[in-house]
Structure 1
Amino acid sequence: MVILVLNCGSSSIKYQVIDMEAAKSVLLAKGLVERIGLPEGDLTHKPVGKANFELHQPIPDHTVGISLVMKALTDPEHGVIASLDEVKAVGHRVAHGGEYFPVSCLVDADVKEKIRSLCAIAPLHNPASLQGIEAIDTVLPGVPQVTVFDTSFHQTIPAMNYLFALPYGYYEKYRVRKYGFHGTSHKFVARAGAELAGLDLNASKIVTCHIGNGGSVTAVLNGKSFDTSMGFSPLDGLVMGTRCGNVDASAITYIGEKEGMSFAELDTMMNKKSGVYGLTGLSSDMRDIDRAYDEGNEKAIVARDMYYNRVKKFVGEYAAEMGGVDLIVFTGGVGENSKELRESVCSGLEFMGVEFDREANNVRGEDKILSKPESKVKVAVIATNEELVIATDTYNLVK
């Protein structure tokens, strides 16, 4: 079964085409549509076993963008399918499912309406996902669609961990609570990490660290999410590229009063002007922060140390919550590629039973155990594959 996986942003579409009926899932193509709605748009199409294809032209909306993807997929030179009839289902990544969606589901009118109702608390992500769903209705009418939610994996978190200590009426009226994100990634790497480490996922204590420009850490107890660092929105928890993570709320109200800032301006400051970018004034990209760190830039040194240390804090917190830990997993753009991050987080955890192997840690782009054979707690790096999770859920629901 050929499945199209879509991850729609406000001005972009990431996609993969995966054949799920082969003996093993096979990636046929992947690509990216960018700059939707701007004067000049871009399509980068990467078919497996063929030359890449690029297209530069105005792409006014998601429907046009997806139409261009379909043309690329069926093109005689760089296509990977003979006709669109081969696409049997479409799986969508949707950021926020609220309390409505503990599992992935087939799209119908009710699902669309519930996703729309959550746009108020996910204004950057959910509207784009809806545009992708509606674009498929136009471009591939009648093809089954499945939504896979970032928040679903975290619906097993107990109330003591998902509620905030605010007046309970705000939860009852507005469903203000911790939702958590990166759920498909945490779910995938917990399973893959357990298999690599020889653990029974359903009788294990795993801490998964999805670290990138945005990042979160999750306590996975017996295969289920028990706690996670992101909260009501993706703002909470770790220091990120432009997000502040954990902060005393009174500091924000104090700054707002002193600066005469509106709620919207404070939200922009915390989400888009903070993190390592706000601390350094240099960049939100950790590769740039690493270069400045190596050059002795004092702000970059503090920012990177804070970025690394916040991850370590959550690893320790979740080990305490679960009564120990069997495995620590690193994934995400920084987690998979930064040996410095992994070593910094694991250094000093010998008291927990972590015996980190610095030689094994000299690795990129490979799933690998990073702890010594005698280590009581295993450490691993696992390349995440959220698209495969989406394709698998889509296949199972449509099949």
Structure 2
Amino acid sequence: MTKSVLVLNSGSSSLKYALYNLDKSAKCLLRGVVEGIGTPKSLIFHKNAQDGCNVKLEGINVSNHRIGLNKVWELLHVDRGSSSNICAVGHRVAHGGEALTKPALVTDSVKKAIEEAVPLAPLHNPANLEGIKAAEELIKCPQVAVFDTSFHSTLPPYAYMYALPLTLYKELGLRRYGFHGTSYQFVLDESASLLRKSKDSLNFIICHLGAGASMAAIREGKCIDTTMGVTPLEGLVMATRSGDVDPGVFQILASEKGLSTQEISRLLNKESGLYGLCGDKDMRVVWDAAKAGSEKHKLAVDIFVHRIRKYLGAYLVHLKGKVDALVFTAGIGENSVPIRSMVCQGLDAFGISLDEKKNNQDAKEKREIQSADSKIKVLVVPTDEELCIAQQTLQVLRI
């Protein structure tokens, strides 16, 4: 019987999971999510990827991640006895700090390092750690932690250091870490495969555009710069996150509006970005409203694209113009024809030119969409962070 690896992504009030077999294709067998953990009206959506059979459980009380994982375990057991085949669990962990720069077998020291990184990711790491502990109790097999930040551990000091007093870096670890690492790793491998070249010989600019959005500059298969910082707040405009703002905004909001640091953090993380500009956070809704004539929605789109193009210019300079491909991925990057078109508009002089017919194709596979005379290829590459976690789990265990 084929053995499999379970991937867990524990959020503050959710638990996403996916099950992959261990053959060469690492095919997804099933996936699902527990939502509303800690509330009396939790939901579980469970989908068998092979036969499309869906299960939805509503109105259940899932007070913590341990109970949530027990519910998942029951579903796995019922669904063709999938639970009996699991030989490893891969965990998504947001922040590894400077101590954890590659996927690692979960040990007491690894859990301690994840806990020490909590001040750098207070919304994510505690939930990630709770998911690990719950899985250790329930599933007696090796557990592997895969870190969002590890992909960016190749950043040079001049790219990751802030111009703050050096003591703050030494004492608190304040530096740029970057996120979406599992997505970047997957997309890098897929892009190299599409171009039929070794990733170590390629330079990419990758745009991970979703509710959370970031970009990365890749030189010879290694990340040399990225837009997110010590937290996922820095960089591009996102669904509800502001991205780059003048730090002086903090003092103004505190003195003029009387906001606490917690309230300012909430404003920048939960009430800004597209949502703060126009009242909607789904780019499909924002684009449709802009097209229908809403000025505030059009402004939100323009600001979103402007920030991407600003970093695109910087990364073209960082890579000295030697770019093999500009890559779009994640929800907006993969599906928004107009956003891709706006990002690439008027960049012929920089070697980037779209074939609008290819850009408009309704396709789900990885593909090239540049024009015949474009010096730089333009790729659309669907991401799969759960699959990447499964693959890295196997690499750690050498299965």
**TM-score of the alignment, normalized to the shorter chain, above 0.5:** yes
* 1-structure distance, mates of 2:56, 2:203: 45
Q: 2:314 aligns with which of 317, 320, 326?
A: 317
Give the root-mean-square deviation of aligned CA atoms: 1.2
Instruction: Find the aligned partners of 1:361 and 1:27 in 2 and give their Cα distance.
Output: 28
8 Å CA contact 1:6, 1:90 repeated in 2: yes
Tell which deviates more after alignment, 158-167 or 41-50.
Answer: 41-50
Counterpart Cα distance in 2 of 1:350 and 1:188: 28
The answer as to whether partners of 1:12 and 1:35 remain within 8 angstroms in 2 is: yes
Q: How many residues align?
A: 392
Counterpart CA distance in 2 for 1:104 and 1:221 is 21
Relative to structure 1, the CA distance from residue 23 to residue 389 in structure 2 (aligned partners, 3 Å threshold; closer, same or farther) is closer
3-state secondary structure, aligned to 2:358? coil
Equivalent position of 2:71 in the other structure? 68
What residue is the counterpart of 1:143 in the other structure?
A: 141
- Contact 1:230 1:237 (8 Å CA) reproduced: yes
Residue equivalent to 2:131: 132
Q: Aligned AA for 1:334?
A: I
- Aligned pairs (5 A) from 1:1-399: 1-20=3-22, 22-47=23-48, 48-56=50-58, 57-75=60-78, 79-80=79-80, 82=81, 84-140=83-139, 142-280=140-278, 282-324=279-321, 325-362=323-360, 363-398=362-397, 399=399
TM-score (norm 1): 0.96
Structure 2 distance, partners of 1:157, 1:65, is: 37
Deviation at 1:36, TM superposition (A): 0.9
Task: Work out whether residues 356 and 375 of structure 1, in 8 Å CA contact, stay in contact via their aligned partners in 2.
Answer: yes
The amino acid of 1:49's aligned partner reads D
* Contact 2:236/2:242, CA 8 A, preserved across alignment: yes
Deviation at 1:364, TM superposition (A): 4.3
CA–CA distance in structure 1, aligned partners of residues 368 and 193 of structure 2:
11
Q: Take 1:379 and 1:364, find their aligned partners in 2: how far apart are those partners? A: 15
TM-aligned CA deviation for residue 50 of structure 1: 4.6
What is the CA-CA distance between 1:322 and the residue it aligns to? 1.1
Contact 1:208 1:329 in 2 (8 A): yes
* Per-residue Cα deviation, 1:355-398 (whole angstroms, up to 9, x for no partner): 21100001342211010233210000000011111111111222
Q: Over residues 102-151 of structure 1, what are the superposed CA-to-partner deviations in whole Å (9 max), with x where a residue is unaligned?
A: 110000111111111111221111111111111112211x3110000000
How far apart in 1 are the matches of 2:349 and 2:195? Answer: 20
Q: Secondary structure at the match of 1:227?
A: strand
TM-score, with length taken from structure 2:
0.96
Q: Is the 8 A contact 1:197 1:378 kept in 2?
A: no
Is contact 1:206–1:219 with CA below 8 Å preserved after alignment? Answer: yes
For structure 2, which runs of at least 5 residues remain unmatched after alignment?
none
Deviation at residue 198 of structure 1 after TM alignment: 3.5
Q: Is the 8 A contact 2:77 2:84 kept in 1?
A: no
Q: Distance in 2 between matches of 1:217 and 1:313?
A: 11
When residues 83 and 360 of structure 1 are mapped into structure 2, their CA distance, relative to the original with a 3 A threshold, is closer
* 1:83–1:25 distance in 2 versus 1, CA, 3 Å: closer
Checking the alignment, whether the CA contact within 8 Å between 1:190 and 1:329 is kept in structure 2 is no
What are the superposed Cα offsets for residues 145-180 of structure 1, whole Å, 9 maximum, x if unpaired?
000000000000000000001111110111100000
Could you tell me how far apart the structure 1 residues matched to 2:196 and 2:82 are? 42
SS at match of 1:58: strand
Distance 1:83 1:370, change over 3 A: closer
Q: Which amino acid aligns with 1:90?
A: V
Contact 2:184–2:206 (CA<8 Å) still a contact in 1?
yes
Structure 1 residues 255 and 60: alpha-carbon distance in aligned structure 2, compared to 1, 3 A threshold: closer
Query: Residue deviations 1:168-215, cap 9 Å, x none?
Result: 111011110000000111111122112213343212210000001110
| Bigger Cα displacement from structure 2, 237-246 vs 52-61 | 52-61
Summarize deviations over 1:274-317 as a string: whole Å, max 9, x none: 1111111x222212211211221111111111101211111111
Distance 1:275 1:397 in 2: 37
Offset at residue 260 of structure 1 (A): 1.7
